[in-house]
Structure 1
Amino acid sequence: MAVAPPQPTPTAEIQVGERVRALREAMGLSLRGLAERSGVSAQMLSQVERGETSPTLAVAARIAAGLELTLSQLLRLDEGGAVTVVRAADRLRGGATGRGHRYDVLTPPLPGQRAEVSLHTLEPGAATGGAGDPPIHEPGARETAVVAAGELTLVCDGVAHRLAEGDAVTFDADLPHHFENDSGADARFYAIVAAGLRRS
C-alpha cells in the first residue's frame, strides 16, 4: 500500500521560503534572475519565499541548482533555539560559478529573523551584479558592508564609492546596487542586511 508522504507544516514552508530568499539576496539575484537560473517561474519563487506554497522535490531541486546548492543544503531547517551556532564547515555556500563571486551565509534563516549576514569574496575584475540590475531587497531595507580584505567599489543608485580594507558603508538596500573589484587582488567583505529599518 502506498503511503502518502507527510505534508510540510506552515512553519516549515515559511522556513524554506526564508532560506530561499536569504540565499537569493546574498547572491545578488532578483526573483527574475533566479527564475532564469533555475527554470522555476518568478511567480512560483515569490510564493515559495512568502511561505504560500511548498515546492515539490523536483521544483526544490531546481531552485537549489539555481542557488548552486544541493537539495539537502537547501532543505536543511534550523530548529532555532535561544542560541544557534553555525560552524564554519556547515555554512551555506554559493556564488556565481566562473564569475569570480563566492559567498557564505553566516546567519541561519530562522523564523521571524529580520537580518542576515554574509561573507563575500570577489576575485579581480569580478562584480556581484551590474548596472541596470533591479533592486533585490524589500522596501525599507538597509545594508552595511565592511571590507575585510582588499579594495572594492560600491555602485549604489549609479554613484561609485571606493572602499579600502577596514572601511564600512551603510546604504538603502532597496536601491539598485552592486559591488565591483577592479583591483589586482581578491577582496572580501561582510554584508549585513536588515529589513524595514529606514525611516520614511
Structure 2
Amino acid sequence: MQKEIKVGDNLKRLRSDKGWSLDKAAKETGVSKAMLGQIERGESSPTVAKLWQIASGFEVSFSSFITTCSNNELTSLFRDANELRREEYNVGFFVSLLFPFEPALGFEIFELTLAPNYQHESEPHNLGVTEHILCISGEMAVLFDGEWHTLQAGQAVRFNANQLHGYRNIGEENAVFHNVIHYPENKQ
C-alpha cells in the first residue's frame, strides 16, 4: 500500500532544511507567503505548475515534494506506474513518479498521461535542467524553442528545460510518455 505523501510536510521540511522563513521562501519562489502557508497546513493543493515554481525557487527536484525522503542508498527498485498514478495535481494530467530524484544519479523519471485535448505548459526550470521525453502511446506535441514538436509512440526528444515548455495531447486517446528530468550536479 502506498503511503500518502503530504506536499505541505515536504515543503515545511525543505524550508526548515534551508533555514528559510515563509517570507524568504516567498521571495525565492515568487509564490505568496499566504499560499506557501496554506500549502504547508494542507489547506491548499498546488497545481503541477505551482509545485514546479516552488521547486525551482528552492533549487530542488519536483519529486522532492511528492515523495518521502530517500535514504540516498541506491538499491534495486521495482515500480508499477499503475499503482503510482495520481491525478490530484491537475485534472486530466496523471502523474506517476517512477523513480524519485537520487543525488548519485542526478535525475528523476515520471510516467505522465495526458487526457485527450489536455495541454500543460511549464515555466522555465533552473539553468542546466534538461528533459528527455519518450512518447509511449498516443500522439502528443512538446513545446520548446518556441514551437510545438509532434511525437508519435516510440519517438523521443531532449531539450533544455530552462525555457517555457509544455506537453499537449493531439490525439483522441490518452497520450502516455516518460519524462526523465536531469538536474545539474549539486542540484536536486
Query: Are 2:28 and 1:40 aligned?
Result: no
Give the drift of 1:16. 9.2
Contiguous gaps of at least 5 residues in structure 2: 1-11, 18-28, 49-64
Query: Are 2:148 and 1:155 aligned?
Result: no
Give the drift of 1:14. 4.9
3-state secondary structure, aligned to 1:40: helix
Alignment correspondent of 2:86: 93
After superposition, the CA RMSD in angstroms is 3.6
Structure with the higher strand share, 1 or 2: 2
Alignment TM-score, normalising by the size of structure 1: 0.59
Alpha-carbon spacing, 1:82–1:96, altered in 2? closer, same or farther (3 Å) = closer
Contact 2:47 2:90 in 1 (8 A): no
2:175 to 187, 190, 193: 187
Write the distance in 1 (CA, Å) between the matches of 2:84 and 2:113. Answer: 14
Contact 1:126 1:180 in 2 (8 A): yes
Alignment correspondent of 2:55: none
2:100 to 103, 108, 132: 108
Alignment correspondent of 1:49: none
User: Which string of whole-angstrom CA distances, capped at 9 and with x for unpartnered residues, describes residues 167-191 of structure 1?
Assistant: 0001111111001112111100000
1:61 to 28, 42, 54: 42
How many residues align? The count is 146
Larger Rg: 1
3-state secondary structure, aligned to 1:118: strand
Alignment correspondent of 1:47: none
Write the distance in 1 (CA, Å) between the matches of 2:159 and 2:88. Answer: 23
Give the drift of 1:138. 1.1
Write the distance in 1 (CA, Å) between the matches of 2:118 and 2:144. Answer: 16
Q: Which amino acid aligns with 1:61?
A: G
Give the drift of 1:15. 10
Alpha-carbon spacing, 1:66–1:149, altered in 2? closer, same or farther (3 Å) = same
Write the distance in 2 (CA, Å) between the matches of 1:148 and 1:105. Answer: 16
Query: Are 2:131 and 1:143 aligned?
Result: yes
Alignment correspondent of 1:82: 74
Q: Which amino acid aligns with 1:91?
A: L
Q: Which amino acid aligns with 2:72?
A: G
